[in-house]
Structure 1
Amino acid sequence: MPDNEFGYTAWGRDWVRLAEPLHQTRPEPLLPRARSTARNSAVRTEIEGRTVRAHLHRGGQASITHVELAPLSRAQVTAIGQVIPDTSVLTDDMHRALRDAGHSPAPVLVSTDCSCSARTVRCLHVLAVLYTIARQVDENPRLALELQGYFDTGHDPEAPVQERRWTALNSLDPDRFFAVAD
């Protein structure tokens, strides 16, 4: 049994770092409850491309959470393909080889959304989804690359990188968006 139930592989630790960033200055009080929610199978995930949709049931409340990831750039896809020619089974050594080559396979969140009343980017439900994905990635490290769109292009250098399906509302600048053109 691994020491840590979430992120016991290098691939899963990248996901745990999204919930527990190293640059955090104070303890996050929601982390124990988020781990408990993920541990008790209260999170049901549906993965579609680079978007994870999760249904969470905790007590008498239910929430729907969306997590969208940034796609890997064309250069990252090419570099990963050169360092790891066969991605059918990913190991911690392969993760280390990528980092040594200067390519971080860590995911980047584009947007998160939750139907709960907390109205924060890092609510309990988003954190529980990150822990659940970390556990799923620990079981199948290939999922870490799938969620970032690595297999969407089929390693074709001429294929375009998948565009985002929508624009996150918090990414718009209201001063420029509503400005009247002269």
Structure 2
Amino acid sequence: MADNEFGYTAWGMDWVRLAEPLSRTRPEPLLPRARSIARNDGVRLEIEGRAVRAHLHRGGQASITHVEVAPLSRAAVTALVHTIPDPTVLTDETHRALLDAGHSPAPTLASTDCSCSARSAHCLHVFAVLYALARRVDENPRLALELQGYFDDHPDSEAPAQEPRWTSMHTLDPDRFFTPAT
């Protein structure tokens, strides 16, 4: 696999494995087209924290895809702090040391969403985004940890309260909600 253009580092291969899990028993027919889109710069990524927003253009079609990466647990961040001596230099040996210590730096997707009509969690566009992310992580392995919130969370500080994505209707007080603030 020396000529693989996506995931040629251990850090990038973790992202390729999201699209090509080893547990898959039959080939995914969308992967060659997804690699082609990513290879031909058909994916424009906007990364903000743990969220990735991608604009994909293929022929006359355009899609917007959102990928949200799950944050590392507090225990994982603490373990990574003790295992990685210098987070600015992340090599394949560093990746191997993390695995040997029992801490996998592989990402987990919290959610995916695409504006295409496929209506599945893993459509062609999500796969293309994963390949584009793998290429970016190959170029800058630090991005793999940034997308998982490694640099946002400090082991000494309290865990930040995660904002809910939805507001439940029964939590709203109609008297306070519909009266103007003074």
Kept in 1, the 8 Å contact 2:77–2:155? The answer is no
Aligned to 1:72, the other structure's residue is in SS state coil
One-letter amino acid of the counterpart of residue 127, structure 1: F
5+ residue gaps in structure 1?
168-182
RMSD value over aligned CA atoms?
1.2
In 2, the alpha carbon distance for the partners of 1:29 and 1:23 equals 16
Structure 2 gaps of 5+ residues are: 167-182
Q: 1:162–1:64: structure 2 CA closer, same or farther, 3 Å change rule?
A: farther
Separation in 2, partners of 1:103, 1:63: 35
- Matched-pair contact (CA < 8 Å) for 2:43–2:57: yes
Alignment partners' CA distance in 2, 1:161 and 1:29? 41
1:161-176 alignment runs, 5 A limit: 161=160, 163=162, 166=165
Match of 1:68 in 2: 68
**One-letter code of the match for 1:25?**
T
TM-score (norm 2): 0.87
Tell me how many residue pairs correspond in the alignment. Answer: 165
How far 1:89 moved relative to its partner? 1.3
Post-superposition shift, 1:161?
4.5
Task: Check conservation: 2:74, 2:155, Cα contact below 8 A.
Answer: no
The TM-score normalised by the length of structure 1 is 0.87
Aligned pairs (5 A) from 1:33-48: 33-48=33-48
Decide which structure has the larger Cα Rg and report it.
Answer: 2
State whether structure 2 residue 64 is matched by structure 1 residue 82.
no
Q: Could you say which residue in structure 1 is the equivalent of 2:176?
A: none
**Shift in CA distance, 164/59, structure 1 to aligned 2, threshold 3 Å:** farther
DSSP 3-state at the match of 1:90: coil
How far does the alpha carbon of each residue in 1:114-155 deviate from its partner, in whole angstroms, 9 at most, with x for none? 0000111110000000000000000000000000000002x3
CA distance in 2, matches of 1:164, 1:23: 33
Q: Does 1:93 align with 2:96?
A: no
